[in-house]
């Protein structure tokens, strides 16, 4: 049951953080982003990637992983990088951000598919979603969108990952196609996690707290 609920819990925690801090980006949020990027990347490398390579031809696996990376690049063209903490919502804007909404929903739906076969991935998605939900909520609260629009945005965004897991869990498709979707998800996870790790640094200066957050994320992912 947790594999369905953890992504929803992450959204709730992120909303609470945004309401309590009322800041777009704090030091704590940056460290949490670094930790989540390292944790998600490590889980992908330790758990998801080896199994997909075991079941699919190596070259095809690489192709589908690249498809996932390219898909995420396309989604970020519309979301402006909200999946890894870059959110640009103008305060004077009052039209519902459909492109941001749809791209985040597609991203969240796909990341729910591997959770069916790899239950540990739910922890990576859980940690990844908390700071992203906090940042999205903070920007939405500073916008001119109505409360109904904001709540609707967060509700649908919150259920998309569990929906992907439910579809994967209850749809009778060939195992090969499940591995293909997992390979695409790997590409998305690799792009998101590495982008987070590159972008959370301040001018490429050495940052001990960021390094510790990354090491901690990798160690926890290794031992779970």
H/E segment holding residue 22: none
Enumerate the H helices of 144-207 as residue ranges: 147-170, 175-199
Torsion, CA 8, CA 14, CA 19, CA 21, rounded to 10: 160
Please give the structure tokens belonging to residue 4.
């369905």
Torsion, CA 35, CA 220, CA 136, CA 134, rounded to 10: -90
The mean pLDDT values, 10 residues at a time, for the chain of 224 residues are 82 90 66 89 91 86 95 87 65 74 91 76 88 86 85 93 86 71 92 83 68 92 87
In angstroms, the Cα distances linking 171 to 8, 160, 177, 203 are 22, 16, 11, 46
The predicted structure's pLDDT at residue 197: 84
pTM confidence score: 0.84
């Amino acid at each position: 049951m947790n594999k369905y609920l953890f992504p929803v819990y992450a959204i709730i925690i992120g909303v609470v953080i945004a309401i309590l801090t009322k800041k777009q980006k704090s030091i704590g949020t940056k460290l949490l982003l670094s930790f989540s990027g390292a944790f998600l990347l490590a889980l992908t490398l330790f758990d998801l990637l080896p199994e997909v390579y075991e079941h699919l031809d190596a070259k095809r696996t690489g192709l589908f992983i690249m498809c996932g990376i390219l898909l995420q690049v396309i989604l970020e063209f519309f979301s402006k990088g909200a999946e890894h903490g870059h959110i640009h919502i103008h305060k004077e804007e009052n039209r519902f951000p459909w492109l941001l909404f749809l791209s985040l929903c597609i991203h969240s739906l796909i990341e729910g598919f591997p959770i069916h076969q790899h239950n540990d991935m739910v922890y990576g998605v859980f940690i990844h979603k908390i700071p992203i939900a906090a940042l999205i909520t903070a920007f939405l609260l500073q916008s001119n969108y109505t409360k109904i629009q904001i709540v609707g945005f967060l509700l649908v965004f919150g259920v998309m990952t569990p929906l992907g897991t439910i579809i994967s869990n209850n749809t009778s498709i060939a195992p090969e196609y499940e591995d293909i979707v997992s390979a695409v998800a790997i590409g998305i996870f690799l792009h998101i996690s590495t982008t987070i790790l590159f972008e959370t640094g301040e001018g490429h200066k050495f940052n001990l707290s960021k390094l510790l957050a990354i090491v901690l994320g990798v160690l926890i992912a290794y031992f779970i």
